[in-house]
Structure 1
C-alpha cells in the first residue's frame, strides 16, 4: 500500500512538472529601441523578432536600468539594484565584488518548482570567487563568459586599471567552471545559438526548462570592434546605410535576429514550442557614442546607454506564448524589468505572494489578457549616488534629477531608420516567418502594420528648448504628450515635482551604498594561464 502511494505521488509530481511551461528568456546587449523593425524603422529588418512580437504581446512601456550589471541584477532578483549595492558602474573585469550571496535569484526559485535551469552567454554579476558564478547561484549549467563583454572571435577581454597605464588581458569563455578553449575563433552569436539549440534538443521533456540566453550581441567587441562573420557580406547587404560602422552593426543585429529564429525552430522541432513562454528584451538602450560605442540607435528617444533618459532605459521587449489568451496586441501599461521575476514565477506555477519584499510586480494576468488598468503605477528608474543622478516615473510623469557625465550623452543621437533610401518594410516577410516558425498561422499583413504603427513613437524634437547641461538640477516631463523629453514642465507642475522628489527621498533612505571597488591586481589573467577566472578562491 505504501509503495502504491509512493508511486502515485511520484507520478503526480512528474505530470505536474511536465505540464509547467518551458521558459526561454533571450536578452540582447545594448540593442537600441530603433534597431528592430517592429518599432517602426525600415533600416534593419528583424523578421524573426517581429514575428515573435506581433504573434504575442509587444511591450510599449517596458523599462530597464541604464547599464548592464544593474539591469541583470534587477532581472534575476526582482529588486531595484539600490537594494543590493549594484546600482553603480557596470562590474569591471577583475573587480572584487558581486551580487550578494544572500539574495535568492530567479533560477533558484524556479529550481524549487522543478525546473532545469541553463544559462548561455553573459553573466556579469561577479566572479571573484567560484561561489559567485552561475552554477553556484541556481543554474545547472553555464556556457559563456563571466565579465561584461568579450571579442566575438577570440573570446578575450582587456581591462585598464585605474592608473590607466596598466592593462590586464585574458580569455573569458567557460563551460561551467572549466575554460572552453575549444570554442575559440568561432563567432560568439553563432556559438551561443548552437548551444541553446543543443540544450533544447537534448532536454528531458518531462522536466520544465528555464533557458536564459544572454547574448553578447549587439555589444561592441574587444577594442570597440564591430565584429561580423563576413565584413564583405555585411557591406553588400547593408550598402544603403551610409555609416560604415552602422553597416557592421546592422549585420550584428541580423545575426541576433537569425538566432531568435533558430531557437524558436529548435523548440518547434523538439515539440516544446506549444508549451513555452518566450521573452525577448534588451538590457538597456543602444550605445550610439562614447565607451564601447556600437552605433545603436534609440531614435526618436533622447539619450543613450548610461543615461536615465528614455533612450537609455526605455527598452525593447516582447513576449510570446500559446498560453496568452489575448495575443497580437500592444500592452501600453507600465512594466519594469524587475517584474519578470514574480511574473515568470507565477507562470511557472509558483505563488508570487510568497515572494516577500520584491520591487517587481506580478504582471502574468496582465500579459495573459488586457485587464485595462495597470498592475504598476510607478517605478524607480535608478539612484546613482556617485553620479548624483536619479529618475522616477509615476503614471505619465517622469522626474530626472542630475545628469550623467555633465549631460554629454543626454541629447538626440542615432539614425532615424526612416530615410527614403531604405527598403520598404515587408509585413508579408513577418507573416511568413510567424507561420514558418509555428508562432501564428492567423497573423496577417494588416495586423502587422497596425501593431507596428501602434509601436512607432512620434514626437516633435525641440533641442533648442534644452539647457546645458540638461537637467543639471531636475526636469519634469509629461511622457503622455512629450515621450521624447523635449520640454521641461517642472515650473508649471510644482506639486508633481514635490511628490516625485518625495518618492526619490523614500528610496534614497533605503539605498545600499555602491559596492564598486578598484580592479584587484591579483586578478591579472597572466597569473592564471592568461584566463580571467575566480582569483580569490584560496584567499
Structure 2
C-alpha cells in the first residue's frame, strides 16, 4: 500500500533540502552514519553478563556494551507491541491510544497497533535516501495494511504477523497447531534452511547477507534487526541447555538452562552481525543500537530481573527498565555510562538528528521523544526536565488473570526525577485502587512504599499523571477498561 504520494514527495524534498543545508554549512558533504538497530524481545535488564547475570554468558553483547555508551536507566513499555509502535512513531504508546496489548484503544487483543497514517522512522530514513531493511519480529500491524513493507521498509525478511515464532527450530512453525494461528506464527522466507537450524542464527545470517550487499553501495542503510529471541517458546539447542545445566549455582537468580541457552543463541547471532560490519568495512560508518523491548518474563521461572521488582507486563522497574547500548564510532566514548532516564520513543528524534533526515514537520511536532544525541557526545549531560509516563489498562484476552492479580493488574506509572509513582487500578474482581511511591536511587527494588510518609510528593506526581492523561485525550480507565472487565465477570 502506498501512502499519500504528495505526502511522500514532500518528505523526499525535505530530506534533500536538509542534506543540501548540511553540505552548504560545512562546505563539504557530511557522511551520514549507517544505522543498525538490534532489538531483543523480552530480554531483562540483568540477563546479560555485562549487566550482572549470574549464569548467562554473552561475550559479544558485552563487548559491544564496552565499546558503547551504556544507558543505565533506559525504559520501554511493559510489553512488546506498545514499545515497537513507540520506537517507530516517536510517540508514547498512550499518545497512540495503545493502553493494552491489543490494537489501538482496544482491550480484547489483536488488531493494528500502529496506524498507517503515522510517518514512521523507517519512512523518514527511506525518504532521506537510506536503504531500509526489516528482519524479524514486527507485531505492530498486519501485512497489507500496517506491516513493515507498508511502513517504510524496502526489504522485509522473516517477519510473521504474530508475537513469536511457532518454533525456534526449522521449519519455524508449531507442529502441534493448525489453522490460522499456526499460519500467523510461522516464520516465512527461510524455507531453504535445514532441520536443527535455530531461528535466531538464521536471522543473523540474513543480516550478514544484507550487510555484504551494502559493502559498495552508494546509499547509507537502516537495518532494523528485531529478534524473536528471547520470547517464548523457550527453545535452545541441546548442547547449550546441557552446558548451562552444569553451570547453575546454588542460590543463583538465573536458574533456567533453556532460557540461558536461548540468550546465548541471541549473543552468538549478534556477534556474527557485528563481525560482518567489520569484515565488510562498515563498522566505522555504522551507528549500532542494542535494546530490549521490555523487561524479562519472570513467570513460570523463565528469568529473574533481581534486584529490580517484577517483570514483563508490570509497571515496576523489572517490567520496563531494559538494557540499552549505543555505539557511534568517532562520537561515543567506549565504556561510558549515562544515568539519565531515557525511553524508546526518544530514538526516533535522535536518529533524525544524527542522520540529518528531515522527517515530517507534523510528525516531528507531535513526537513525545527527546533527541539524545547530546548524551551520546557527553553522557554526563542532562536532558531538559520531564516526566516519563506509562498507562496499562490491562486485557481481557491476553491476560484475563489481571482482574485479580495485584502485581500485574491494570495500572499507571510516572517517573519524575528520582521519584516514581505507581497507581494500581481497581477491577470488578476485587482489586482496589492503590497508590505507591518510591525513591528509585535509594530503593531501586521498589520495596518501601513512601506514599503515606510523603503526601506532598505523592500529590505532585498524581497531578502530573492526571494532567498528562488529559493532555493526550485518552479515554479514562473507568470508561474503557472497566466495562471490559465487567463483561468477563458477567460471562462466567
The two structures have a TM-score, normalised by structure 1, of: 0.73
Q: Tell whether the 8 Å contact from 1:87 to 1:383 is kept in structure 2 after alignment.
A: yes
Partner of 2:203: 192
Given that 1:279 and 1:319 are in contact with CA atoms closer than 8 Å, whether structure 2 keeps it comes out as yes
Deviations 1:4-27 (A, max 9, x none): xxxxx99x9899888210100101
Partner of 2:183: 170
* CA positional deviation for 1:188: 0.7
The question of whether the paired residues in 2 share the 8 Å contact of 1:30 and 1:296 is answered with no
Residue 148 of structure 1 aligns with which residue? 163
Alignment counterpart, residue 86 of structure 2, candidates 70, 74, 78: 74
Relative to structure 1, the CA distance from residue 248 to residue 396 in structure 2 (aligned partners, 3 Å threshold; closer, same or farther) is same
2:334 alignment partner in structure 1: 327
- Counterpart in 1 of 2:389? 380
SS in 2 for 1:280: strand
Q: Which runs of 5+ in 1 are unaligned?
A: 1-8, 161-165, 408-467, 519-539
Structure 1 CA distance for aligned equivalents of residues 240 and 305 of structure 2:
25
- 2:235 is aligned to 227
Q: Which residue matches 2:10?
A: none
Secondary structure, counterpart of 1:345 in structure 2: helix
For 1:339 and 1:188, the matched residues in 2 are separated by 30
1:313 aligns with 2:323: no
The Cα shift of 1:59 comes to: 0.6
Q: Per the alignment, do residues 475 and 376 of structure 1 end up closer, same or farther by CA in structure 2, a change over 3 Å counting?
A: same
The residue number in structure 1 matching 2:346 is: 339
1:120 is matched with which residue?
135
* Higher deviation after alignment, 374-383 or 39-48: 374-383
Q: Which residue of 1 aligns with 2:71?
A: 59
Contact 2:81–2:140 (CA<8 Å) still a contact in 1?
yes
CA distance in 2, matches of 1:384, 1:17: 49
The runs of 5 or more residues in structure 2 that have no matched partner are 1-15, 396-408, 485-492
Equivalent pair of 1:17/1:207 in contact (CA under 8 Å): no
What is the CA distance between 1:234 and its match in structure 2?
2.4
- Is residue 358 from structure 1 mapped to residue 358 from structure 2 by the alignment? no
Change (3 A) 1:391 1:317: same
* Residue pairs, 1:206-285, within 5 angstroms: 206-221=218-233, 226-229=234-237, 231-241=238-248, 246-285=256-295
* C-alpha RMSD of the superposition: 3.4
- Could you say what secondary structure the match of 1:318 adopts? strand
Partner SS, residue 330 of structure 1: strand
- Cα deviation, 1:338-381, whole Å, max 9, x if unaligned, reads 10010111111135895111110001111112353234532113
Q: CA deviation at 1:335?
A: 0.6
CA distance, structure 1, for counterparts of residue 456 and residue 219 of structure 2: 53
Change in 2 beyond 3 A, CA 1:251/1:388: closer
CA shift in 2, pair 1:21/1:404, >3 Å: farther
Match of 1:460 in 2: none
Q: Distance in 2 between matches of 1:397 and 1:106?
A: 31
Contact 1:249–1:296, Cα closer than 8 Å, also in 2: yes
Q: Is the 8 A contact 2:119 2:360 kept in 1?
A: no
- Alignment-derived partner of residue 119 in structure 2: 104
For 1:348 and 1:157, the matched residues in 2 are separated by 41
Q: 1:306 & 1:370 partners in 2: Cα distance?
A: 29
Relative to 1, partners in 2 of residues 1:135 and 1:495: Cα closer, same or farther, differing over 3 Å? Answer: same
Q: CA deviation at 1:63?
A: 0.6
Structure 1, residues 191-210: CA drift from partner, whole Å, max 9, x if none? 10000000000124321110
Q: What residue is the counterpart of 1:46 in the other structure?
A: 58
- 1:159 Cα deviation after fit: 12
Following TM superposition, by how much is the alpha carbon of 1:95 offset from its aligned partner in structure 2, in angstroms? 3.2
1:535 corresponds in structure 2 to none
For residues 234 and 305 of structure 1, the distance between their equivalents in structure 2, rounded to whole angstroms, comes to: 23
Task: Say whether residues 1:303 and 2:317 are aligned partners.
Answer: no
| Greater CA drift, 277-286 or 41-50 | 41-50
Q: Is the Cα–Cα contact under 8 Å of residues 361 and 375 in structure 1 kept in the other structure?
A: no
Matched, 1:138 2:152: yes
Contact 1:22-1:277 at 8 Å conserved across structures: yes
CA contact (8 A) 2:173 2:187 kept: no
**C-alpha contact 2:298 2:310 (8 A) present in aligned 1:** no
C-alpha deviation, 1:44, in angstroms = 1.1
CA contact under 8 A between 2:116 and 2:150: conserved in structure 1?
no
Q: What is the distance in 2 between the residues matched to 1:99 and 1:353?
A: 17
Deviation at 1:237, TM superposition (A): 4.6
Name the structure, 1 or 2, with higher relative contact order (CA <8 Å, separation 6+): 1
> Partner residue of 2:443?
482
- How many residue pairs match? The answer is 431
Q: Partner of 2:37: helix, strand, or coil?
A: strand
Contact 2:102-2:110 at 8 Å conserved across structures: no
Distance 2:335 2:324 in 1: 14
Could you tell me whether the CA contact under 8 Å between 1:25 and 1:279 is conserved in 2? Answer: yes
The answer as to whether partners of 1:173 and 1:181 remain within 8 angstroms in 2 is no
Query: Contact 1:366–1:375 at 8 Å: present in 2 too?
Result: no
Alignment partners' CA distance in 2, 1:196 and 1:380: 34
- Selected match of 1:492 from 453, 472, 486: 453
Q: 1:395: which partner in 2?
A: 417
Query: How far apart, in 1, do the equivalents of 2:242 and 2:219 lie?
Result: 44
SS at match of 2:73: strand
Aligned counterparts of 1:265 and 1:192: Cα–Cα separation in 2: 14
